[in-house]
Amino acid sequence: MAEAFLNQTCSDSFAAERAGLEPGELNPFAVEVMREAKIDISGKRTRSLSDVLKSETDFDYVITVCDEANAAKCPSFTGSTKRLHWSFPDPAIFTGTREERLAQTREVRDAIRQKIAHWCTAHCTTEAA
């Protein structure tokens, strides 16, 4: 979700890439709530963090969005990379009815969107959407 919002909000300044500590299938609730926000992530595939590290790409920023319980697992990046950690609950661990899980995922989506908008306002050359 963060990658999609960043690429939508300030793609003139940054190109976001995503990677997971344990890549797998996209969360269907995340796909659904992003579709509600008019962003289709259904065709995205998860990418292994090790693949990103192997690419030896230099990143200006690395923004981790995992919850605090998993923050320590996030790797360090060499060079001048600025690492930011924004803790958000993982929709994959939500429980309850379908509607309860969707509601919780919407809350995460909206929190991510707000954080991205604020960050882009401060760091992008174009005005945040």
Q: Which amino acid is at 105?
A: T
In the chain, the N- to C-terminal Cα span, in Å, equals: 15
Of residues 129 and 102, more confidence is placed in 102
DSSP reduced 3-state for 33:
helix
In CATH, what is the architecture of 2-123? 3-Layer(aba) Sandwich (3.40)
- Name the band, by pLDDT with cuts 50, 70 and 90, for residue 128: very low
**Is the CB of residue 46 less than 8 Å from the CB of residue 9?**
no
Half-sphere exposure of 85 (CA within 13 A, CB side): 13
- Name the band, by pLDDT with cuts 50, 70 and 90, for residue 41: very high
Least confident of 62-71, 105-114, 115-124: 62-71
Half-sphere exposure of 122 (CA within 13 A, CB side): 5
Buried b (16+ CB within 10 A) or exposed e, 82-106: eeeeeebbebeebeeeeeebbebbb
Residue 77 confidence (pLDDT): 66
Whether 123 has a pLDDT exceeding 90, the answer reads no
What average pLDDT does the segment 3-20 reach?
A: 86
Residue 71 confidence (pLDDT): 63
